[in-house]
Amino acid sequence: MDKEQLTKMVAEKINAALQASDHPKKFFITANGRGVTDGGDLYNALLKDVLGVVSVALVDIFGELATASAKTSDKPAKVSTKK
């Protein structure tokens, strides 16, 4: 699986999970630091940014795992004959 296919799969899975979850549609932080779920598009922008970072991280992690797995599967298994 190449990076483009992996990126597409991660995006689809994150979008499906996002659609299946119940989250506030609007959110803002007041001057005293409290979060309020009635306001502008700050929550949606923050959610989009966080999911973008998570998507990139997951694609990189899965890519490295696939590379490591391919490297280890090419090597013959070492068998110890010591008793």
Number of compact structural domains in the chain:
1
| 61 domain-assigned | yes
Predicted confidence band of residue 13 (pLDDT cuts 50, 70, 90): very high
* Residue 83 pLDDT: 52
Kindly give the pairing relationship between strand 35-36 and strand 28-29: antiparallel
Instruction: Determine the Cα–Cα distance for residues 59 and 78; give it in Å rounded to an integer.
Output: 31
User: Which tens digit of pLDDT belongs to each residue from 20-48?
Assistant: 887 766 666 677 777 666 545 666 777 88
The pLDDT, as a whole number, for residue 58 is: 93
Please check whether residue 80 lies inside any domain of the structure: no
Q: Is the pLDDT of residue 77 over 60?
A: no
Give me the pLDDT at residue 76, please.
57
Q: Give Cα separations from 76 to 67, 71, 72 (angstroms).
A: 16, 11, 8
pLDDT of residue 69: 82
Supply the range of the domain harboring residue 54: 3-74
Nearest to 42 by CA among 56, 25, 20: 25
Residues 6 or more apart in contact with residue 13 via CB below 8 angstroms: none
Is 79 contained in some domain? Answer: no
